[in-house]
Structure 1
Amino acid sequence: MAPHANAETGAQSKVRMTFEGTPLSVEPGSSVASALEAWGCHGFSRDVKGEERGLFCGMGACHDCLVTINGKVSQRACMRRVEDGMDVRRQAPRPQVANPAIADLARLPEAIETTETDLVIVGAGPGGLAAAETAATSGLSVVMIDERHDAGGQFYKQPATDAAKTALSSDRQAADGADLIARVRAKGVMIRHETLVWGGFHEEDGRIVLSCLGPDGAFYCRARAVIIATGAHERPPAVRGWTLPGAMTVGAAQTLLRSYGTLAGRSIVIAGNGPLNFQVALEIVRAGGRVSAIIEEAASPFKRPMAGLELMRSDRALAIAGTTQLARLRAAGVKIHWKSRLAGIDGGGAVETVTIETARGRTTIAADTVLIGGHFTASNELPRLLGCAHEPRDGALETLTDATGRTSLPHIHVIGEAARFGGAFVAMSEGRLAAAALIERLNGKTVIDQAAETRMLARHRRFQRALWRLFAPAIEDDATPDEDMIVCRCEGVSLKALNDLVERGVSDIASLKRLTRAGMGRCQSRYCGKALAEIANAGKPLPSQTNGFLAPQMPLRPIPLAALAVEKGEWGGHKHAMLPDRPPLQADQPLPRSKAATVIIGGGIAGISTALYLARAGEDVVVLEHAYPNAVASGGNAGSLHAQLLSFDHGARAEAGGGPAARTLPLQRESIALWQALQKETGGDFEMKITGGLMVAETEAHLRFLEEKTEVERRAGIDCHVIGQGELRRLEPALSDRFIGAAYCPQEGKINPLVATDGVLREARRHGAQLFDRCSVLSIERDDDGFTLATSRGPIKAERVVNAAGAFASRVGAMLGLDIPVFGAPLQMVVTEAAEPTITALVAHADRHLTLKQAANGNFIIGGGWTAGLDPVHQHPRPLPESLEGNLWVAQHVVPGLRKLHVIRSWAAMNINIDGAPILGEHPACPGFFNAVTSNGYTLGPLVGKTTALSILGEDAGFDLTPFSIERFTGTTR
C-alpha cells in the first residue's frame, strides 16, 4: 500500500511504530489515525461483524476507529498520539481476554480522588475558553476539562505536527486560538487535557460532581457551578455504504489537515450541507489535494439574491470571504453540484464510487474518499444526564436556556453548540455572558460589559440566521431508502430490521432499541438516535425528551472497567426507596375497549405471562401498561435465571430470616422449566441457556456458609452442591485462582429479557390478548359488577383485576384501600464491551453482591443487587458512583480478565422488594382482585402468570398457595 505524498518525508525525528507488524516512520505529534491515513490506509479497524472500518468522526464520538495498541483493546485511533515503539493492530470484533497478549487497560485504584473548584468548564473550544478567561479574571477558581490533547476545539484546533505548523504558520484562525489559549493559561486556569467527563450527579448541598477519567486515572470534580461547552458533532443521515472505510465527516478531514498536515485521500468528494464544506474543500486544494466534486443540498447562493443580500447586511466581510471561497474553488476546477444530495456510497470493502442525486437524476462519481458534512447536532449528553430541561426541535433535543446559557438548573449553563448550532463567535459571546452570570451568582464581580456583549451576541446570531437561510436545503428527499443500509453503525442494525418491527406494531424507541440493540453500542445512539426516533414515531412530532429519545447512560463514553474498580463495604439489604411520580404519557387515541373479563395492570413479564395463560384458555383479557411493555423492571434486569438462593437470601442478611425465599425455591425450579417450554412453544430464540450457576468461595467460612445453604436448597428439590477448587477450575478456568470452591447448581442459566418478554407478548396476542400502552390507571372503584378503572385513555370495566404492577403494586392496592407490602428498590446493572466467550455459567459470590454472566453477543452483564438512587430531577432510577465502583471491583476480583475491557453502559431499574417471596392469589378482602407480584421476578415471571391464570379460572395451581398469600402479612408492621 503506497503512502500519500505527505507521509514519509524524511527520517529525522520520526516516531517509529508498527501497524500489523509493518514498521512505519511517522511525524511526532500525529494521532494514530492520522499516521495510518497518511500511510494510505483507510480501513484500519473492524466492526462487530469483522468488516473493515476506519476514521469517521475524527473526534472520539463514533468509536469506528478502534484499534489495539500495545495489547490494550478498543483504543480510539483519532484520540491517541503516536509514541515510539507503539504496536498497533486491527481491532478484533471480540477480543480474547484470556489471551495473555491482551493487556489490562488500567491499574486498580486504591481510591478515587476528588478535585474541588468554584467553576468547572467542560470543553476547551472557543466558548469554553472565553468563559474561562472571564471567570478567572474575577478570581473564581476554574478547572477546564477537555478530551483533546490541546485546547481550541474544532474551530481553534491547534497544529500538532511540524507539517501542520508550517501549513498554518500564517493562518489567522489558528493564531487567534493560540492567543486565547495563552491568555487563559496566564490567568491560572487549570486545563485537564485528555480527560473524559463520563458521568455526573448532584449532591444534597447543591454542588455538582462530575465523574472524570484522565491520563492518570479516574477522579471526581466537585464544583459550585458548571458551564458545559461540549460543542456539536456532525450527524449525517444514513446512506448506503456510509460505514465503508474512506467515508468520514468533513470535520474529521479538517482535523487531519489542520492538526496533522494529512490529506484524507487522493480523490475526494465532499457532500452535505453548509459553508464548512466549502472552507474544507479550499483547504484541501491549497494543500495539494484533489476535490472531485462538492455535493451541496442548498441551492446556489447566486440564484438567491435576496438571501445573499441579507447575509451581506449581517456581516459584509464574512459574506465577501464566502463568495471569494466559491470563486477560488471554481478557479481550481472543483465541480459544485447545487441542490443535490448524497444517495449512496459503493465499493468492495472501501469507497470506490459515490452516487449523487440532482434535479436531473442520479450520477456516479469515482472517489476513494467521501467527506460528509453538515447536519450538526448538539453534544448535549451531559446536560441531559444532569437533568437539564430539553425540548424536541428539528428532530433533535435542544437544551432550554436563557440569554446567558442558564438551564432549568440555575447552577448549570450550556453554551455554544452544546445548546444549539451557531458558530464559534456566538459560542464565545455566550461563554463570556455565562461566566458573568455565574460570577454574580457566586458573589463575585464581573469584569465585562454585559450589555455590549449582549449586542455583540445578537449581531453574531443575526449573521448565523442569514447564513443558514442562504444554505437551507432545497432538494426534496423523497427517494425510497435502501432497506439494507445500516442505521446503527455500532451494532450493524439495518433499516429493514427496524421497519419490520414497526410493521409488527412496535411503536416506541425504547422497544426498538431492546429488540434490535440499535443505540446500545459504544456511541450511545449519537449517530442513529434521530433516525430511531423518526422510525419509531412514523413521521409524527417527537413527543418529549423522555418519551421520544433514548436517554443517555453512564458512562457517556466507554471507560476501562479497571479504572473505576474500588473495593467497597457490603450493604446490609435493599434500601426501600420512595417510588417516583409517573405522569401519564400522551397516547394517540382513547381505549378501544370499554370492558373486559380480566384487566391486568402492568405490562412486565408477570402481567404478560398472566395474559398469555388466560388467553390460551379463551379468557377475554386486557393488559394496561403505564408506559410500554417490558419497560421497567422486566426490561431493565440482567437476565439471570436463579434456581439457588442468592447469598443475601440465606442467613443473617436475608429478609424475614430467609424462610420466604427458601419456600420460593420450588417455584424458581418450575418457572425455569416453563421458560424452556415457552421458548419451544413460541418458536422464538430467547437466547436462553441452562449453563449452571456457581457461587464462589474464597475462604473456609464461605464454604461452610455454602454447605448450609445448599442443604436448604436440596431439601427444596434444587440440585445444588459444593464443589472443590479443581472442579471449579475445570468448569470456569477464567475465574480467579483465589477461589477454593463453589456451590454448583446445574439448573441455573440466563436469558435475554429484551427478546424473551417480546416473544411471550407476541404469543399472548396471537391467542387474543390485548395490550394497551401509555395507559395509566388513575383510580379503581369496586361495584356489584366488578371494577371500574379510570385510566388516562378513558374508563374500562372489568369482572376481575390483576395487580401485576411490580414495584408500583402498593399504589394499585391503595386505590382500593388495600395494603400491599411491596417496596421499590432501585438496583443497577453494568455491561462491558463484547469479548470472545470467556465464562459459561451464571456466577455469584458467597459473601459479595455479584451476578455475572456473558451474553450471547459477548457482552458481560454485571449485577448483584447494588443499590441505585433516584435522579433528583426526573426521578428515574440512576446508578450511584459508589455502587458502580464496588460492583466493578467485585466483578474483576472474580474474573480478572474483565480488567482488559471497557464498560460501555450502566443502567438502573426499579426492582421489587417484598420479603423474599411473591404475593399471589385473590385478595381475601377484595374478591376479584388478584396479586401477581414477586421479587426475583424475571425467573418467576412465567410461573406467576400461570399460577394467577389458574386461580382466576378456578383451577388447581399444582402447589399450595398459602405461603404466598397476602394473608401472611396480617398483623405485621410495615
Structure 2
Amino acid sequence: MRVVRPTSVRDGAIATVTFDGRPLAAVPGESVAAALVAAGIRAQSQGRDGSSRGHYCGMGVCHDCLVMVNGSAGQRACLTRIVDGQRIETQPARPDLLDPALADLAEPPIAIPEEAVDMLVVGAGPAGLAAAETAASHGIRVVVIDERPAPGGQYFKQGAHPATGEPDRQMREGAHLVSRVRGLGVVLREQTFVWGAERDAVGRLVLATVANGRAGRIAPRVLVVATGAFETPLAVPGWTLPGVTTTGGAQTLIRSYGVPIGHRVLVAGNGPLNIQVALELKKAGADVVAVLERAPSPSSRRREATRLIAAHPALALRGLEQMARLARQRIELLWGASLLRIEGESQVEAAIFSTAEGERRVAVDAVVVGNGFASANELPRLLGCAHREADGRLEVARDENGATSLEDVFVVGEAGRFAGAHVAMAQGRLAAREIARRQNLEGAKGDERADRRRLARHERFQAALWSLFAADEPSRPAPQTLACRCEAVSFEMIERALRGSAHGDMASLKRLTRAGMGRCQGRYCGPVLAQLAARDSQARAVAPKLAAQMPLRPVPLAALAVEKPEWGGHRRAHLPDRPAPPSERLPPTRVGTLIIGGGIAGLATALFLARAGEDVAIAERNVANSGASGGNAGSLHAQLLSFDYGARAEAGGGPAARTLPLQRDSIDLWRSLEAELGRDFEIKVSGGLMVAETEEHLRFLDAKTALERAQGIPSHVIGAAELQLMEPALSSRFLGAAFCPSEGKINPLVATEGILAAAIAAGAKLLERTEVCAISRETDGFTVQTQRGPVRARRIVNAAGAFSSRIGAMLGLDVPVFGAPLQMVVTEAVAPLVSCLVAHAGRHLTLKQAANGNVIIGGGWTAGLDPVDQHPRPLLASLEGNLWVAQHVVPSLRKAHVIRSWAAMNINIDGAPILGEHPDAPGFFNAVTSNGYTLGPLVGRLTADLVTGRAPSHDIAPFSVARFSRGRP
C-alpha cells in the first residue's frame, strides 16, 4: 500500500490544484483532504475559537475539514473529490458573504422535484448494499443513496485510484457486492444526503434530499435506514489539533487514497480496530510508535477470550494474527494504557499517556484515536421510530428483521446498534426478505435460515469481542478541554452551567452553553451533555437527549429556497397533548401567589413579586425557558409587523397598535434589567427595517409609520439610497424601508436565565416538571392539583402562554388564546452581514444576525408537531418558503449553509396581551401575550403591581379579558 506520490507539478501529476495560492500536485479522484495531508498540510480551516482545524472523522460528520473550493465555502474536504484546476482555500471561522470572490452554493429552484420509489435505502455500506441486493433479487425496484463519493461505506471502502495498490480481501468483497447490486438494476446515487423528512397530508413518507447542490424529494413505499455509525470522540486536551484523527478517518486516508495521516504516529483508545489501523499505517509507510489499548490484557481475561474463540474461531484467529504482526513489526502494544493529552501549537507535536509504569511522552506528528462507535440514528429519531435506552444510549426499537414501530420504516445494521459488518449484512438481507414477504413476493427460505444463523453467530462473536475489550470509562478531562468542537465549549463551561442553573436537562445545557448547536449538530458533544445532564437529572428520572432536528446535515440555503404563497397573521394549530413528565412528589406546599408557566412573562412576574416581598412560586410543566421563550428568535419589536397592520391584521389592527407603547417601554426595561443585574443579555438596539419593493409597499409603510408615530414610536420611511448605505447586504431591488431606531435583538438563551436567577435570588421558588391538572376555588384562594401533588395559593397568575386557555378552562373561564407553532432557521456563523432587524412589508420575514455570527431567520412561518413527543417542529414547505424570502431580501445568503432549525409554540390572541384580574374570578390574573419576549419584563412588572395592589405604570384596561365579551349576545 506504500504510494509514491508526486511532489511538484514537474513530476507529471495529472491534477494540478492550488491551496491558498500554493500549487499542489494531486492524484485525480482522491479527496481534497487526502491531497492536503499528503502535501503536509494538516490545518485546513479555523475553529470558532480561531484555532486551526483539519481532517478528523474522514466521513463528513465533524465538519472540521471545511475548505473553500472555487469560491464555494463550507465544502467538506474529506468528501470533495480532486478535479484538475481547483482553487482550494483555508476556510475562515466566519466566511465573508459580501466578498465577491465567494460563489453562490446553488441556484434557488422554481420547484423541488419529487419522485416515488418502491424501496429507498439510505446508506450504501454493508447493510444497505445487502438489503438492496436481496430486495432487487425479489423483484423490488430499489434506489440507494449515500453522501459519500462512492458506495461501500467505512467497511467496504475502495481505492479511489490505481496508486493505492492491490485491493485486499475486504476491498474485493465490497467491490463484488457493489457489482452485483448494480447488475440487478439497483439505482446507486452517490453524493446525495437526506436532510429532512416528514409525513404529507395523507400520511405518506417524504424525504428531503440534496445532491450536488440540488434539492429533491423522494417518497418511498418502504424506507430502509442503513446510515451506519460514527466514532465517538475521546476528548483530551489537544484533541482538536490538526493531526488528530479518528481510526476511521486515518483508515479512509490509507485504504481509499494511500495517504498516511503522519510520519510518526501514535494509535490510542479502545477496540480491535485500532490494531488493524496501526498495521495499515505501518504498511503505508508510517512509523507507528505504539498502540495504546485502555482495556486490560486478554491474558487477564481468559474466560472472555475462550468465549471469543468459541463464538468464531476463524475471526478470533485473525485477531491473534494481527497482534502477532504488531510484535513482529516491533510496534509496542500497551494494554491498560490511556491517552492523557496531546501537545502542539498549530498541529500535533507530542502525546502524553499513562501506563502501569507511569506517564510517558512521545514525539509524534499524528495521533489516531478509536474510542468506540455511536449509531447514526438521527433519521429514525426524526421520523418518530420508537427508541429505547441501552447502555446510556438511544437505540432504535426493532425486531430481528429490522422492522420498527413504523410500518414503512426498517433500520438495519449499525444505524440501530453497532455490531460489525457481518451482522449488518445479515440484518440487511433479513429486512429485505421481510419487505418482500409483506408484498407477497416469493423468497428463498434456505438463504433466510442461513442468514439467521450467521446473524446469531456474529452477534455472539461481537458480544464476546467487546466483553474482552471492555474498559473503564476515560477519566474526566481537564476543565479547559473542549467538549464541543463546533462551538468551542469547554467542560468547565458546561459544569458552570450545571452549577448555576436551576435545572440540568440537556435542552437547558444546550441553550446556556451553545454546545450541540454547531455544524455537527451534537453528534460528538451530545453524549457528553447526556452524561453530565443525567447526573443532575437522576432524582427526576428524566432521560436526557438532544432532539433530532432538520437539517440533519448542513445544507446550502439557496438549494431549498422555493417561493410560497403569503397569508395574513399566524396560522392557528391544535395544542399538543403529552403525558406529564415523571418527577418526585411535592411536600405540602402553600404560597401567596402561584405563577403557572416558566417562560419570560411568568419569570418576570415572579421577579417583581419576590422583590415586593410576596411569597411566590412558579409551576412549570417542563423546565423554565423550555417553551416559546426559550424557542423564540430574540427579536425586540418596537414597530408593527406587516401582518399586524392593514387588511391582514387581527381585529383590524387596533389591539396591536394599542400595544406599541408597551413594546417601546418593555425594550427600555430589558436594557435597565441587563445593567442592573450585571449580566450580558446580548441586547443590541440597532434599529429595525421593513423593506418595500413596490410603490404599494411604500404607501403601506407611510400609513403604518404614521400610526406608529401617533403611538409614540419613532418610525419613518427612508429611500433606497439611505437604505443601501445602512444595509449594503440587502437587495438593490428595494425602493425604501420603514426604519424604527428603537428595535433590536436579544439572546433569549441567556436573558431568560438571567431573569430566572434574579427571581430565585429574590426568594421565588421554582417547581419544575410540575403540570397543573385541575384548579378549584377555596374560601381563602385556590387549590391547584398537579401530577406531583396539590399546591395551595391565595392567588394565581396564568402565564402559561399558548396553554393559557386550558388553565382558564379549569375554572370555567374563557381565555381566548390559541397556539401558533412557528419555526426559526439558523445559518452557519458568517462575518458581519446585517446590523438591523430586517422585515418585509409584504412577506413573512424577520431576519437578524446574532452576536456569534449566525443569521437567524423567522417571520411567522407555520410549524407542525413532532409525531412522537408532539413538540413543535418545522415543516418542509415552511422552511423552503421562509428561506426563499430570506435570500430574496439578502442575496448573499445564497453563499451560506443552513445548520439548524427549530420550532416553538407561539401565541395567537388578537394582536394584544391579556392582562389583569379576571372579572369573574377574583385572585386569578392573566399575564398572557403574543410578541411575548419583547413584552415579557413589562408584563411581569405590570402583573406584579396588580397582584400587590399597586397602581400599574400603564393603563391596562384595553388589555383586559373582558374585551372579548363586549358585544357578545
Does TM-score exceed 0.5, indicating one fold? yes
Report the equivalent of 1:45.
Answer: 45
What is the Cα deviation at residue 540 of structure 1?
A: 6.1
| Amino acid paired to 2:458 | H
Are 1:276 and 1:374, in contact at CA under 8 Å, matched by a contact in 2?
no
What is the Cα deviation at residue 718 of structure 1?
A: 0.8
What is the Cα deviation at residue 697 of structure 1?
A: 0.3
- CA displacement 1:386-422 (0-9 Å, x = unmatched): 1111122222211111111111112111111110010
Q: Structure 2 CA distance, aligned partners of 1:948 and 1:441? A: 61
Report the equivalent of 1:560.
Answer: 556
Q: Structure 2 CA distance, aligned partners of 1:269 and 1:972? A: 80
| Amino acid paired to 1:90 | T
Q: Structure 1 CA distance, aligned partners of 2:98 and 2:837? A: 18
Instruction: State the TM-score, normalized to the length of structure 2.
Output: 0.98
Report the equivalent of 1:616.
Answer: 611
Q: Does 1:248 align with 2:241?
A: no
Equivalent residue for 1:499, pick from 495, 500, 507: 495
Q: Structure 2 CA distance, aligned partners of 1:847 and 1:155? A: 53
- CA displacement 1:739-789 (0-9 Å, x = unmatched): 011111111111011011011111111111111211111111111010111
2:662 aligned counterpart, secondary structure: helix
What is the Cα deviation at residue 139 of structure 1?
A: 1.7
| Amino acid paired to 2:283 | R
1:482 aligned counterpart, secondary structure: coil
Which range moved further: 797-806 or 956-965?
Answer: 956-965
Are 2:578 and 2:869, in contact at CA under 8 Å, matched by a contact in 1?
no
Q: Structure 2 CA distance, aligned partners of 1:206 and 1:224? A: 11
Equivalent residue for 2:485, pick from 489, 495, 510: 489
| Amino acid paired to 1:16 | T
- CA displacement 1:2-25 (0-9 Å, x = unmatched): x99645398345210001111001
Report the equivalent of 1:833.
Answer: 828
Equivalent residue for 2:927, pick from 915, 925, 932: 932
2:11 aligned counterpart, secondary structure: coil
Q: Does 1:688 align with 2:686?
A: no
Q: Does 1:571 align with 2:567?
A: yes
Equivalent residue for 1:288, pick from 277, 285, 289: 285
Q: Structure 1 CA distance, aligned partners of 2:735 and 2:100? A: 23
Report the equivalent of 2:659.
Answer: 664
Q: Does 1:646 align with 2:641?
A: yes
Are 1:202 and 1:872, in contact at CA under 8 Å, matched by a contact in 2?
no
1:254 aligned counterpart, secondary structure: helix
Gaps of 5+ in 2: none
1:538 aligned counterpart, secondary structure: helix
| Amino acid paired to 2:735 | I
Q: Does 1:438 align with 2:435?
A: yes
Report the equivalent of 1:823.
Answer: 818
Q: Does 1:517 align with 2:509?
A: no
Are 1:351 and 1:368, in contact at CA under 8 Å, matched by a contact in 2?
yes
Are 1:146 and 1:194, in contact at CA under 8 Å, matched by a contact in 2?
yes
Are 1:146 and 1:192, in contact at CA under 8 Å, matched by a contact in 2?
yes
CA shift in 2, pair 1:927/1:495, >3 Å: same
- CA displacement 1:899-938 (0-9 Å, x = unmatched): 1110000111110000111000001111101010000000
CA shift in 2, pair 1:892/1:959, >3 Å: same
Equivalent residue for 1:260, pick from 238, 257, 260: 257
| Amino acid paired to 2:660 | L
Are 1:7 and 1:39, in contact at CA under 8 Å, matched by a contact in 2?
no
| Amino acid paired to 2:81 | R
What is the Cα deviation at residue 543 of structure 1?
A: 7.8
Report the equivalent of 1:82.
Answer: 82
Q: Structure 2 CA distance, aligned partners of 1:600 and 1:664? A: 23
Report the equivalent of 1:733.
Answer: 728
Are 2:821 and 2:863, in contact at CA under 8 Å, matched by a contact in 1?
yes
Q: Does 1:403 align with 2:376?
A: no
What is the Cα deviation at residue 539 of structure 1?
A: 6.8
Which range moved further: 31-40 or 436-445?
Answer: 436-445
Equivalent residue for 1:743, pick from 738, 741, 744: 738
Report the equivalent of 1:461.
Answer: 459
Q: Structure 2 CA distance, aligned partners of 1:543 and 1:281? A: 44
Query: CA RMSD for the aligned pairs?
Result: 1.7
CA shift in 2, pair 1:503/1:592, >3 Å: farther
What is the Cα deviation at residue 541 of structure 1?
A: 5.6
Between Structure 1 and Structure 2, how many residues are aligned? 965
What is the Cα deviation at residue 476 of structure 1?
A: 6.5
Q: Does 1:274 align with 2:271?
A: yes
Report the equivalent of 2:671.
Answer: 676
Are 1:207 and 1:225, in contact at CA under 8 Å, matched by a contact in 2?
no
Report the equivalent of 2:752.
Answer: 757
What is the Cα deviation at residue 708 of structure 1?
A: 1.1
Q: Does 1:898 align with 2:893?
A: yes
Q: Structure 2 CA distance, aligned partners of 1:343 and 1:216? A: 41
Q: Does 1:191 align with 2:197?
A: no
Are 1:533 and 1:542, in contact at CA under 8 Å, matched by a contact in 2?
no
- CA displacement 1:54-94 (0-9 Å, x = unmatched): 11100000101111111111110001001111111111111
1:555 aligned counterpart, secondary structure: coil
What is the Cα deviation at residue 963 of structure 1?
A: 1.1
Are 2:593 and 2:797, in contact at CA under 8 Å, matched by a contact in 1?
yes
Q: Does 1:627 align with 2:622?
A: yes
- CA displacement 1:165-192 (0-9 Å, x = unmatched): x242xx1110110111011111111111
Instruction: State the TM-score, normalized to the length of structure 1.
Output: 0.97
What is the Cα deviation at residue 795 of structure 1?
A: 1.4
Q: Does 1:375 align with 2:372?
A: yes
- CA displacement 1:495-540 (0-9 Å, x = unmatched): 1111111122441111111111111000011000111111122276
CA shift in 2, pair 1:476/1:958, >3 Å: closer
Report the equivalent of 1:863.
Answer: 858
Q: Structure 2 CA distance, aligned partners of 1:787 and 1:152? A: 65
| Amino acid paired to 2:469 | F
Q: Structure 1 CA distance, aligned partners of 2:852 and 2:473? A: 39
Q: Structure 1 CA distance, aligned partners of 2:459 and 2:310? A: 13
Report the equivalent of 1:130.
Answer: 130
Are 1:115 and 1:222, in contact at CA under 8 Å, matched by a contact in 2?
yes
Q: Structure 2 CA distance, aligned partners of 1:419 and 1:542? A: 29
What is the Cα deviation at residue 450 of structure 1?
A: 2.6
Are 1:390 and 1:399, in contact at CA under 8 Å, matched by a contact in 2?
yes
Q: Structure 1 CA distance, aligned partners of 2:636 and 2:223? A: 43
2:43 aligned counterpart, secondary structure: coil
Q: Does 1:770 align with 2:769?
A: no
Are 2:504 and 2:536, in contact at CA under 8 Å, matched by a contact in 1?
no
What is the Cα deviation at residue 470 of structure 1?
A: 1.2
Report the equivalent of 2:106.
Answer: 106
- CA displacement 1:609-657 (0-9 Å, x = unmatched): 0001101111111001111111110011111011110000011111111
Report the equivalent of 2:882.
Answer: 887
2:218 aligned counterpart, secondary structure: strand
Are 2:6 and 2:12, in contact at CA under 8 Å, matched by a contact in 1?
no
Are 1:728 and 1:741, in contact at CA under 8 Å, matched by a contact in 2?
yes
Equivalent residue for 1:703, pick from 698, 704, 712: 698
Q: Does 1:808 align with 2:807?
A: no
Q: Structure 1 CA distance, aligned partners of 2:540 and 2:140? A: 40
Are 1:395 and 1:542, in contact at CA under 8 Å, matched by a contact in 2?
no
Report the equivalent of 2:545.
Answer: 549
Equivalent residue for 2:523, pick from 500, 521, 526: 526
Q: Structure 2 CA distance, aligned partners of 1:926 and 1:255? A: 69
Are 1:167 and 1:261, in contact at CA under 8 Å, matched by a contact in 2?
no
Q: Structure 1 CA distance, aligned partners of 2:705 and 2:233? A: 56
Equivalent residue for 1:179, pick from 161, 176, 180: 176
| Amino acid paired to 1:322 | G
What is the Cα deviation at residue 572 of structure 1?
A: 3.4
Report the equivalent of 2:341.
Answer: 344
Q: Does 1:418 align with 2:415?
A: yes
Report the equivalent of 1:472.
Answer: 470
CA shift in 2, pair 1:543/1:390, >3 Å: farther
Q: Structure 1 CA distance, aligned partners of 2:354 and 2:295? A: 13
What is the Cα deviation at residue 225 of structure 1?
A: 1.2
1:838-857 equivalent positions in 2, closer than 5 A? 838-857=833-852
Which range moved further: 213-222 or 928-937?
Answer: 213-222
1:103 aligned counterpart, secondary structure: coil
**Percent identity between the aligned chains?**
58
Q: Structure 2 CA distance, aligned partners of 1:494 and 1:386? A: 32
